[in-house]
Structure 1
Amino acid sequence: MTARSKWLLIAALALVALVAVGGVAAYAWVQYQARASAPSGVETGGASGWGTSDSIVFRNTAIGQGYGLVASVPLGEPAGPRALTSTACDRVDATPTEFVCLRSERGIVPSYTGTVYGLDGQTIAQWPIPGVPSRTRFSPDGSLVATTAFVTGHSYATVGFSTETLIRRANGDSIGNLEQFALIIDGAQVAPVDRNLWGVTFVDDNVFYATAGTGGKTYLVKGDIAARTLTSVAEGVECPSLSPDGTRIAFKRVTAGTDATTHWTPAVLDLGSGAISLLPEDRSIDDQIEWLDDSTILYGMPRDGVAGDSDVWRLAADGSGAPAVFIEHAWSPSVVRAR
């Protein structure tokens, strides 16, 4: 084969690949439009008390009009009509005065953003994120926001996945990438090239917990923004979530499998004693847990056989009951207490 023939073959293969990628993107867009334009599968139009009364804010995953939009229901009426915003998000967290939205912008070349909105829908701050949205959390007073994204579009079950986790002020100003913080494991400072940080949960506007992954292990680390340090607290903890009373961490724990076959079970760590309790959930949970109150946790579960749809489930944090659906057709729940 001549050099010219080789280049023609390479060009032809590149064109085929480009057409294939474009076709996949176009198909995904058509599917998304179909999900978003059909009649909604849930009752919408509820009055939003978000900001003035206790609420649950979440991503609406009911197929049909309003699909993907940020929604809210009263805390005491989770099955009631949901109030929809006009903002579409993949992950959301909220306070009584604002919400943070991680979004994938579909297209032949997708892009990803993090945005803080006021309750009126006006943009307060926006910044690019490097890949598929994964986790986001506000600090208790709403002054800080943490975001995690997959740098290469991987997932936690992918070999060699890479994440970027940053903490910003709510106005968008960056405080730093957690990979730039000093990592201290078992009392010694380390700087492994394979480290990943994800799943921030705040104690206040300086201290937080997160997951550090390195050498095939995961650690719960306690972060100090002022000191720019991450110090290991426990091993085998992923996607931590601090309880409202500040005494426990709910998280997902690997209980079977590896890589693409990983099975995560919800668990609770008592920060005082170090005791870990696995909770009675047989399905694999790939979510950052939210606390409904000091006795109950919430998490999202995809619906079997329904692409893009999910439910929010509830489970007693002491393991005393079975999982139950809390909000149908929902994802990324955020409990918002009126101040």
Structure 2
Amino acid sequence: MRTAWAKQRTAVFGAVVVLVTAGMTAYALSAIAENDRRTSKATDATTTSMTRVEQGPRILFRHTGRDADYGHVGAVSLSDPGGARALTDLSCDRVHARAGSVSCLATERGVVSRYRATDLATSSPGKAWREVDGIDLPGLPSRTRISPDGKLVSSTVFVNGDSYMVSGFSTRTVIRRIGGASYGNLEKFRLVIDGRRVAPVDRNIWGVTFADDDRTFYATVATGGRTYLARGDLAARSLTTVADHVECPSLSPDGTRIAFKEAVDDGTRWTPAVLDLATGERTVLTGETHSIDDQIEWLDDDTVLYGLAREDEPVSDVWALDTSATATPRVLIPEASSPAVLP
């Protein structure tokens, strides 16, 4: 009797396995087909939409919606930033763009993750982006910026292992000519702090922003527990401090002011602020009460943009804030980060 029951149980089990396997196979095939249909539909819509969006002024950004396009680069019309967005198949951790050039810092995940900076370009609005240059990165992507003429690009990453670090991360920042030579690690540049040439082993440099003369840039220099705004000269391979307590600078479109994040409340949070380069006057934008850990982007001469994560959600939004001291911030692009304005 046990043998007969065993045979019957084996037969029943085998039938269940066949049914479950068939069901799973059918579901998988259905899911694949549905995904292909959605991908094809999304690709068609994106191509048409991107062509339309790129015909005029726009904002490029990184999509942060909780969907299959998370991390993909998108664009919205500058005249309707909260409206319909176009999404591409380019995935980045950080992105920036200027004058037909795009910089994408990305993590290539695997058993051992790799990091890469890719430079892309387009010959004219609406045309496909093509890869023109790229380098492997020595650490986790943090910041990237392209010069106004689209010829220079900077990248900053977090690294570990520096001998002076007891714990945590330090940075590596390089500037390159897109499709050309690299100026190398900015820590190798001659450094002048408060009028005196120095060579501290603990220096860290990050957050490059470019002027429009193909030579001048600004960056944060940190050493000895202090942060400085430094003016860089690519031809002279030098960095000279011009102000202190400045992080992640961003030069205004007219070249007269620096937007940045300033540490407040004993360094427990950052608030957006603006520095007048001619007078040294600072305006702290107290209307923003959240901690802003981002490199600010200028929307125009009077408004700045930055990414801000939502509370208790893996989603961020791009906010806009007038540069008057007590202005109230507002969401400009929902489910977005890393904005780049292309007027």
Same fold (TM over 0.5): yes
Matches for 1:38-57 after TM superposition, within 5 Å: 45=46, 46-49=49-52, 51-57=54-60
Q: What displacement does 1:240 show? A: 0.2
Rounded to whole Å, the distance in 2 between the matches of 1:114 and 1:252 is 24
Matched, 1:126 2:129: no
Match of 1:219 in 2: 228
Match of 1:23 in 2: none
Q: What displacement does 1:141 show? A: 0.4
Using the aligned pairs only, state the percent identity.
53
Render the CA deviation track for 1:197-219: whole Å, top value 9, x for unaligned. 00000013100000000000000
Aligned partners of 2:160 and 2:168 also within 8 Å: no
Q: What displacement does 1:239 show? A: 0.2
Match of 1:333 in 2: 339
Alignment match of 2:277 (pick from 265, 271, 280): 271
Matched, 1:101 2:101: no
Q: What displacement does 1:54 show? A: 0.6
Alignment match of 1:146 (pick from 144, 154, 161): 154
Alignment match of 1:298 (pick from 294, 305, 330): 305
Alignment match of 1:238 (pick from 233, 247, 269): 247
Q: What displacement does 1:320 show? A: 4.3
Render the CA deviation track for 1:88-121: whole Å, top value 9, x for unaligned. 0010011242211000111221110000112423
Secondary structure of the residue aligned to 1:272 is coil
Q: Bigger radius of gyration, 1 or 2?
A: 2
Aligned partners of 1:296 and 1:315 also within 8 Å: yes
Q: 1:335 to 1:317 in 2, by over 3 A?
A: same
Secondary structure of the residue aligned to 1:321 is coil
Q: What displacement does 1:77 show? A: 0.7
Q: What displacement does 1:51 show? A: 4.8
Match of 2:185 in 1: 177
Match of 2:324 in 1: 318
Q: What displacement does 1:152 show? A: 2.6
Match of 1:25 in 2: none
Aligned partners of 1:51 and 1:97 also within 8 Å: no
TM superposition score normalised by structure 1: 0.82
Secondary structure of the residue aligned to 2:187 is helix
Aligned partners of 1:132 and 1:150 also within 8 Å: yes
Match of 2:210 in 1: 202
Aligned partners of 1:182 and 1:189 also within 8 Å: yes
More displaced, 46-55 or 83-92?
Answer: 46-55
Q: 1:134 to 1:153 in 2, by over 3 A?
A: farther
Aligned partners of 1:50 and 1:96 also within 8 Å: no
Match of 1:252 in 2: 261
Task: Extract unaligned runs of 5+ from structure 1.
Answer: 1-36
Match of 2:26 in 1: none
Rounded to whole Å, the distance in 1 between the matches of 2:73 and 2:237 is 33
Matched, 1:82 2:91: no
Q: What displacement does 1:47 show? A: 4.0
Secondary structure of the residue aligned to 1:269 is strand
Q: What displacement does 1:162 show? A: 0.7
Secondary structure of the residue aligned to 2:118 is strand
Match of 1:287 in 2: 294
Match of 1:11 in 2: none
Q: 1:136 to 1:196 in 2, by over 3 A?
A: same
Q: 1:117 to 1:153 in 2, by over 3 A?
A: farther
TM superposition score normalised by structure 2: 0.81
More displaced, 221-230 or 120-129?
Answer: 120-129
Secondary structure of the residue aligned to 1:273 is coil
Rounded to whole Å, the distance in 2 between the matches of 1:88 and 1:172 is 24
Render the CA deviation track for 1:23-46: whole Å, top value 9, x for unaligned. xxxxxxxxxxxxxx8x99xxx743
Rounded to whole Å, the distance in 1 between the matches of 2:161 and 2:58 is 32
Rounded to whole Å, the distance in 2 between the matches of 1:211 and 1:236 is 9
Aligned partners of 1:132 and 1:153 also within 8 Å: no
Render the CA deviation track for 1:122-167: whole Å, top value 9, x for unaligned. 211110011111111111101100100001399xxx9653100000
Matched, 1:70 2:78: no
Rounded to whole Å, the distance in 1 between the matches of 2:252 and 2:53 is 21
Rounded to whole Å, the distance in 1 between the matches of 2:167 and 2:319 is 28
Secondary structure of the residue aligned to 1:179 is helix
Aligned partners of 1:98 and 1:117 also within 8 Å: yes
